[in-house]
């Protein structure tokens, strides 16, 4: 029993997990949960940070580079789920701490992406998300002039991204938007309204530039 616990501590310590001694029994539960969460992924890079692992589900075969930060839900209604065979590149931050993030299988998240908020984000399988993309599911209220913006209520929204969507580098996806299956978002665009399936959008705010082959333009 003691040897098993020591092995657990050694394994977690080498993964770069730091837990204060004052956390006691809860610390051990946290570390064991983190170890099991890491084991579900095929590769966890050096200095990968994993918080709230009990509400984090990592699909088997997924790969996480160095300096990736994953944050699970801090309450029962919040979670982070990443599907099987996904790739998350270095420096990316994905958080379901006070919201929900659900990423389908075979998704690719490029370097230095930021995905989170206090709402819900659903990303379909085979999504291709280029570096420095921001996907946010909530926004601060700004109607009051007697309270700083950062202290005003955060309004939760929903972001849905269909299967096989390509989001170009540096794009921003705002709350309460839907990107249809097979759509392409050009680099640097700001998605502030729904994007039809099989369409190419660009600009600030993003607008349809053209419809891609196979699009049902009768419904667009």
Choose among 126, 85, 124, 128: nearest CA to 101: 124
Range scoring the smallest mean pLDDT among 75-79, 135-139, 148-152: 148-152
Give the CATH fold of the 41-211 domain.
UDP N-Acetylglucosamine Acyltransferase; domain 1 (2.160.10)
> How far apart, in whole angstroms, are the C-alpha atoms of residue 107 and residue 87?
6
Q: Is the pLDDT of residue 7 over 60?
A: no
Most confident by average pLDDT, 75-84, 120-129, 153-162: 120-129
Contact 118, 100 (CB under 8 A): no
10, 39, 60, 140: the catalytic one is 140
pLDDT at 37: 58
Exposure string of 153-186, with b = 16+ CB inside 10 Å and e = fewer, is ebbbbbbbbbbbbbbbbbbbbbbbbbbbebbbbb
1-15, 37-51, 100-114, 192-206, range with the lowest pLDDT: 1-15
- Residue 195 is given by DSSP the state B
List residues bridging with 38 in a β-sheet: none
> How far is C-alpha 148 from the geometric centre of its chain's CA atoms?
28
Task: Label residue 113 by pLDDT band (50, 70, 90).
Answer: very high
Residue 40: phi and psi, rounded to 5, are: -70, -25
Distance CA 198, CA 195 (A): 9
* Strand 207-211 with 199-202, pairing: antiparallel
Q: What is the pLDDT of residue 154?
A: 83
Comparing 31 with 139, the larger pLDDT belongs to 139
pTM for the full predicted model: 0.79
Task: Please say if 140 is a catalytic residue.
Answer: yes
Percent of residues, the chain, with pLDDT higher than 70: 76
Q: What is the pLDDT of residue 153?
A: 84
| pLDDT, average across residues 135-157 | 86
Q: Is residue 194 a contact partner of residue 157, using CB atoms and an 8 Å limit?
A: no
């Amino acid at each position: 029993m003691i040897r098993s616990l020591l092995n657990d501590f050694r394994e977690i310590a080498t993964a770069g997990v730091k837990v204060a001694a004052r956390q006691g029994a809860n610390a051990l539960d946290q570390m064991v949960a983190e170890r099991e969460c890491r084991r579900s992924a095929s590769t966890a890079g050096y200095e990968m940070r994993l918080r709230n692992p009990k509400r984090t589900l990592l699909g088997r075969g997924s790969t996480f580079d160095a300096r990736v930060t994953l944050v699970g839900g801090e309450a029962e209604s919040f979670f982070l789920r990443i599907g099987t065979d996904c790739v998350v590149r270095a420096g990316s931050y994905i958080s379901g701490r006070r919201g929900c993030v659900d990423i389908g299988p075979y998704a690719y998240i490029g370097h230095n992406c930021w995905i989170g908020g206090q709402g819900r984000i659903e990303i379909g399988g085979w999504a291709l998300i280029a570096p420095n993309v921001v996907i946010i599911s909530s926004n601060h209220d700004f109607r009051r002039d007697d309270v700083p913006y950062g202290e005003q209520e955060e309004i939760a929204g929903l972001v849905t991204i269909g299967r096989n969507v390509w989001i170009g580098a540096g794009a921003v996806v705002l709350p309460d938007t839907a990107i249809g299956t097979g759509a392409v978002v050009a680099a640097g665009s700001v998605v502030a309204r729904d994007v039809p399936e099989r369409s190419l959008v660009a600009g600030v705010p993003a607008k349809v530039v053209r419809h891609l082959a196979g699009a049902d333009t009768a419904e667009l």
